Structure 1
């Protein structure tokens, strides 16, 4: 065997060993990352007495749903869930409005359009904490404090979503839109039947972000609402930690109830996210 062949064989073995080492390292890292989530989910099905066992048990000895039942019977998690779902639904309404605004900035030329778009982008540089007091005062003058409308309205549209939709929709060929208009389609029909189906990847990404923002809404509902009947799951989870600080099994159940839907949504839409990354790489 020649020296060149031997060196090539040695390089291949080194590459294989490096891949194995990286694979083992990434596997260990993945286990370390996911282990707390697995522990949280399993602990949600344990009794409080089992949670206090030393040494602790990894799998529940006597699995029970009592912790989840307690959330809805003693902690009004049913009310918190309803409020959170209302916010999530209107977050998707806001997603549709963001898409329409992004389409307008991307495909319509009008006087002052660029200046208006840059003004929208400028709002991204203002921290949300700075605008909370002015928004609260405005809503108070409109008698919308301590109402679900006051919780939903400020987060209905956002500059970041408009920016992402605008950047994506700029890549849609103008010829395609002109062809649909020549066929007699209205602007709204063109948007609904042509633009939105093409924009599935960015819709998936924005949909996940909108769902997470709505599902985890905490600060604004806590500020604007004085009535517990308007609280969200995140606020309810904070109340749970305050009222049942020593009941770790119940806290694990509440945290599991908060985390699982986000994981499920991500699993459902991850294919579209990967597709979006692929499209972005080809531009």
Structure 2
């Protein structure tokens, strides 16, 4: 009986601790939602929500009517979607090669790829910009998509997942006459579905929230993405905080929606290489 009481007490305490942690985590989100519904004069007057009579949707209306935020959203969806698809294809293909093929110089290639992970992105920005300038990719979406076409981190994620696919399965496919690309596409990729979900979510978040490189490479406002568009709301002498909070909330929604759709694959993908069966 005492063990049962102790176990129930521990569960209650853990549940209470999780509730407290959830409330602390959600507090900034609640403040953000409240700020989008305030008048400019009430932004810093009330900690959270103002009285009901003072709630307004003017920030959302002004966001889409006074700025090109709708265009910024379309730009971000296009550049992010293209980056994720290209990264997914090349990263999974390279991960398949590293996991299932033996070739001369494989160790050297692997070591070189790992070394690139140690380079800060800021170190390569100047030479990369110069290269893209001579390739006429400045102020174009290609200047964002092409440099991010390959993710070394993604390659090793897929390698870790694909290395667990039985070699006998691939040999059986070859005996049936499958080409190497068809083995990759029809056998390896479906088996690696959890890792695909995890990688797509991480790649989407990185591309969607990218600010510095798009700010450098894009010059015309009709090409701006959401982070750059939000930065335009910060003035030198005054800032439209209500519109800024409204834009931030709208910009967070696609990432939150994608996480809800891929949360199972995200958890399964991150743990797929943790235990070797």
State the distance in 2 between where 1:99 and 1:168 align.
10
**C-alpha distance 61-165 of structure 1, shift in aligned 2 (>3 A):** farther
* Structure-1 residue corresponding to 2:233: 240
Shift of 1:17: 2.0
**C-alpha distance 32-174 of structure 1, shift in aligned 2 (>3 A):** same
Shift of 1:75: 1.6
* Structure-2 residue corresponding to 1:4: none
* Structure-2 residue corresponding to 1:85: 77
Q: Is the 8 A contact 2:233 2:240 kept in 1?
A: no
Q: Is the 8 A contact 1:39 1:58 kept in 2?
A: no
* Structure-1 residue corresponding to 2:67: 75
| TM-score w.r.t. length of structure 1 | 0.88
Is the counterpart of residue 138 in structure 1 residue 99 in structure 2?
no
Q: Is the 8 A contact 1:221 1:230 kept in 2?
A: no
Q: SS of 2:138's equivalent?
A: coil
Shift of 1:45: 3.5
Q: SS of 1:217's equivalent?
A: coil
* Structure-2 residue corresponding to 1:3: none
Shift of 1:22: 2.3
2:119 to 126, 138, 143: 126
State the distance in 2 between where 1:141 and 1:198 align.
41
Aligned residues: 275
Shift of 1:225: 1.9
* Structure-2 residue corresponding to 1:37: 29
Q: Is the 8 A contact 1:43 1:60 kept in 2?
A: no
2:182 to 189, 194, 206: 189
Q: Is the 8 A contact 2:99 2:163 kept in 1?
A: yes
* Structure-1 residue corresponding to 2:140: 147
**C-alpha distance 245-181 of structure 1, shift in aligned 2 (>3 A):** farther
Gaps of 5+ in 1: 1-8
Aligned-residue Cα RMSD (Å) equals 2.2
2:220 to 204, 227, 230: 227
State the distance in 2 between where 1:85 and 1:54 align.
34
* Structure-2 residue corresponding to 1:18: 10
State the distance in 1 between where 2:249 and 2:66 align.
17
**C-alpha distance 42-257 of structure 1, shift in aligned 2 (>3 A):** same
Q: Is the 8 A contact 1:121 1:163 kept in 2?
A: no
Is the counterpart of residue 114 in structure 1 residue 114 in structure 2?
no
**C-alpha distance 127-53 of structure 1, shift in aligned 2 (>3 A):** closer
Gaps of 5+ in 2: none
* Structure-2 residue corresponding to 1:6: none
Shift of 1:145: 1.6
Q: Is the 8 A contact 1:75 1:240 kept in 2?
A: no
State the distance in 2 between where 1:78 and 1:56 align.
27
Deviations 1:177-231 (A, max 9, x none): 1111211222222111111111111111100011111111100011112222222
State the distance in 2 between where 1:210 and 1:71 align.
27
Q: SS of 2:256's equivalent?
A: helix
Deviations 1:138-167 (A, max 9, x none): 112222222221122111112111111111
